Amino acid sequence: MSGKTVSLQTHDDESLESLRLRAQRALAAGKGRLFSSAGNVLDGETPLKRARLQNAEPLTFQVGRVAIQATWGAFATILGDGSVVTWGRAGSSGVVGQLKNVQQIQATSAAFAAILVDGSVVTWENANFGGDSSDVNDQLKHVQQIQATNHAFAAIVGDGSVVTWGDARRGADSSAVHDQLKNVQQIQATNYAFAAILGNGGVVTWGSTAEFGGDRSDVQFQLKNVCQIQANCHAFAAMLADGSVVTWGEADAGGDSSAVRDQLKNVQQIQAAKEGAFAAMLGDGSIVTWGDAEYGGDSSAVQDQLKNVQQIQATISAFAAILGDGSVVTWGFDRSGGDSSSVRDQLKNVQQIQSTEEAFAAILRDGSVVTWGQVECGGDSSDVCHQLKNVQQVQATSAAFAAILVDGSVVTWGNANFGGDSSDVNDQLKNVQQIQATRYAFAAIVGDGSVVTWGHAISGGDSFAVRDQLSCDQLALGEYYGHR
């Protein structure tokens, strides 16, 4: 809240939209929404005389936080006034008039779903991926949150029930379990299946069955007092209140944890390698792994080193654990970051780790960065290592990294087609606050609220067509959320 106040003269026939725009200009603010003293949104062409406002009633102009969401090939940005701008492989023109007062956006691989302030939902892009919700629009009321597989959406509505749409074979058909989906608290997803945690701690699943976790019948009676669920592409892992773990889905991808069941006690956190393995951090700082051995499911070669683990990060097929002394232990597929022997001596005082699909980047306490893994995916930062100083955070596409430095500049490396080369926009990348990514491109929110993009042009790297809407006088800086 800036605390600024202005007084505006109005007349009965002036529209609410006109008043909103005048308030925005008078306050020298970015796009925002106008609220009555009762908290009602004031927008549209309704004249003031019909808006049921009191004479000299104080109104509030609220500039919302910029939020960026991404499919595999497109970005959608919520502006300060709750409207939405899209670019890349996205087309929202058919619903642009409905995209007002947007609260949040969720995405499948190729479609978006926006929750509006009134709890309704607007969807767009590829219908086969959930971009068409017309069959269930009458059910999408008072929506609280939305989760997504690659091809379908699942919305929790106000009464705790669930509404699904998209590809029926990949999570959109929940008819078989509709009567069980009551008092749903949260939903997790593999590539093609959903798992919902109920208020009583039970779990309901649907979607593609054997290979993706849509059928939990083999473990149904063990799924009691579930606190949270983690997922990779093919399997689910549920943490129970007593610290034990129950798994289901494709057995070889982590759906079968029977070999380590006795070790899975006092579990604090679970991390997933997308291609087929899980790693559980226990209360004593040790690690238990299961799933595809080649993809990180077997940590026996480094088990004696996995003590006092603080954090775990993963590529699609390897894990990296930060220990209490700031060193790092890795395992899994060598080329995807499972082998860090070439940089072991540099991995000291590590603060955090980020990953592309097949490489890791570690930020050290002194602000420098150490990388390893597949060279084509960002595992080699030697060309920019002299620039990687005072790094604050690192973001990643599937094959490139982008680091924000303390002075607000950005350094990139990895596959140029995936955002590893930002040379064309480097002069614009100043005072960068946050970066979001699709699989192929980056979008940076700059201090003045504008957005700068680079990477694969048609997958979000080129925002030229919407540059006027993304300029600094249109946006208000805030937080974002993401989907990789």
Domain residue limits at 4: 1-63
Residues 341, 346, 300, 378: what is their CA dihedral angle, to the nearest 10 degrees? -70
Strands 193-198 and 203-207: antiparallel
Residue 423 has phi, psi (to 5 degrees) of -60, -30
Instruction: Give the whole-angstrom CA distance, residue 481 versus residue 105.
Output: 9
Look-up: residue for tokens 């997504």? 148
pTM (predicted TM-score)? 0.85
pLDDT given at position 466? 87
17-31, 158-172, 175-189, range with the lowest pLDDT: 17-31
14-28, 66-80, 264-278, 313-327, range with the lowest pLDDT: 14-28
Model confidence over 227-253: pLDDT tens digits? 999 999 999 999 999 999 999 999 999
Residue 319 within a domain: no
Q: DSSP character for 64? A: P
Reported as a pLDDT band with limits 50, 70 and 90, residue 326 is very high
Residue 196 within a domain: no
Residue 335 within a domain: no
Q: Is the pLDDT score of 352 beyond 80? A: yes
Scored b (16 or more CB within 10 A) or e, 346-360 reads bbeebeebbbbbbbb
Q: Which of 385, 392, 386 is nearest to 409 (CA)?
A: 392
Q: Which of 391, 366, 369, 389 is nearest to 380 (CA)?
A: 369
pLDDT given at position 21? 77
Residue 49 within a domain: yes
Question: How many separate domains does the chain show?
Answer: 1
Residue 9 within a domain: yes
pLDDT given at position 481? 26
Q: Is the pLDDT score of 344 beyond 80? A: yes
Reported as a pLDDT band with limits 50, 70 and 90, residue 29 is low
Residue 7 within a domain: yes
Residue 85 within a domain: no
Residues 125, 128, 130, 135: what is their CA dihedral angle, to the nearest 10 degrees? 110
Separation in Å, CA 370 to CA 140, 366, 399, 402: 46, 11, 16, 13
pLDDT given at position 3? 62
Model confidence over 95-140: pLDDT tens digits? 888 998 899 999 999 999 999 999 999 999 999 999 999 999 999 9
Residues 256, 259, 264, 269: what is their CA dihedral angle, to the nearest 10 degrees? -50
Sheet containing 121-125: give its strands across: 102-107, 111-116, 121-125
Interior CA angle at 181 toward 180 and 187, to 5°? 135
pLDDT given at position 28? 66
pLDDT given at position 304? 97
Interior CA angle at 62 toward 92 and 448, to 5°? 75
**Helix or strand holding residue 17 (H, E):** helix 16-26
pLDDT given at position 476? 34
Strand pairing partners for 105?
Answer: 114
Model confidence over 298-323: pLDDT tens digits? 999 999 999 999 999 999 999 999 99
Instruction: Give the whole-angstrom CA distance, residue 99 versus residue 88.
Output: 18
Q: Which residue has the higher pLDDT, 287 or 479?
A: 287
- Residue 3, domain CATH: 3.10.20.90
Residue 224 within a domain: no
Model confidence over 408-447: pLDDT tens digits? 999 999 999 999 999 999 999 999 999 988 899 999 988 8
Instruction: Give the whole-angstrom CA distance, residue 375 versus residue 398.
Output: 13
Cβ proximity of 323 and 329 under 8 Å? yes
pLDDT given at position 63? 63
- CA quadruple 414, 415, 417, 421: dihedral positive or negative? positive
